[in-house]
Structure 1
Amino acid sequence: MYIELYEYTVNEGMWQEWEAFMARAVPYQESRGMRVLGLYWADHDHTRFVWMRQFDNDDQRDRVYSAVYDSEFWVQNMLPEVRRLAVTGSSRTTRLDPFPETTASKTGNREGAESETV
């Protein structure tokens, strides 16, 4: 299991349209098997959109990506909106792999525990 952290730069002044677009895009993606964990604006900046998705493994990610992004519906209806609302070439993906469970338990960061800022 891993999480994909994905960041887009949204064109200046288009944030409300981007939010409306994502309100349509996420349910479609989830209907095709995508697990969306959250959508965020970074640092109070409405041009920096970040979202997180979870995948079991690379094969599952590839299947879901194909089911969503290769679909006729996405290509004809959604992709043109992405191109209009987001800065072309601005996307950045970071794969987040979990620490081993034993490492997390050694740090003392468990549910309900306070953590220190490093």
Structure 2
Amino acid sequence: MFQEANVNYESTFNLSYLTVPIMAKFYVAKGLSLEAGPQIGFLLKSEVDIEVNANALFVSQSESTTEDVKDFTKSNDFAFNIGAGYQLNSGLNFNLRYNIGLTDAYEDIDAKNSVFQVGVGYTF
């Protein structure tokens, strides 16, 4: 008897940090700035969402779960930020920033955080 079965497994890690950046800002033209500096992050939450889909000949089954993995995640994250911003005369400003992780996020896994940030603000 021949039977084909497929199992698909997908996991998504969700890490939440309270971050403290220390940025130096350099104005290169009127309203246009470049910024760079270090950042430390303090881990608030670390979860993994797991989804398993199994398909056999006449049977299909799906299961999802969320697990806390804070015990396997490092409590601090060190990074370096680079970015650019533009401020309008009205006080409205926009910025883009790239966060380059310098330390591994997990205890036994070689994985660093890498984040793009987009910001909109107003200067009084």
Shorter-chain TM-score above 0.5 = no
More helix by share: 1
Q: Which has the higher contact order (CA 8 A, sep 6+)?
A: 1
Q: TM-score category by the smaller chain? A: under 0.3
Structure 1 length-normalised TM:
0.21
More strand by share: 2
Structure 2 length-normalised TM:
0.21
Computing the radius of gyration over CA atoms, which structure comes out larger, 1 or 2? 2
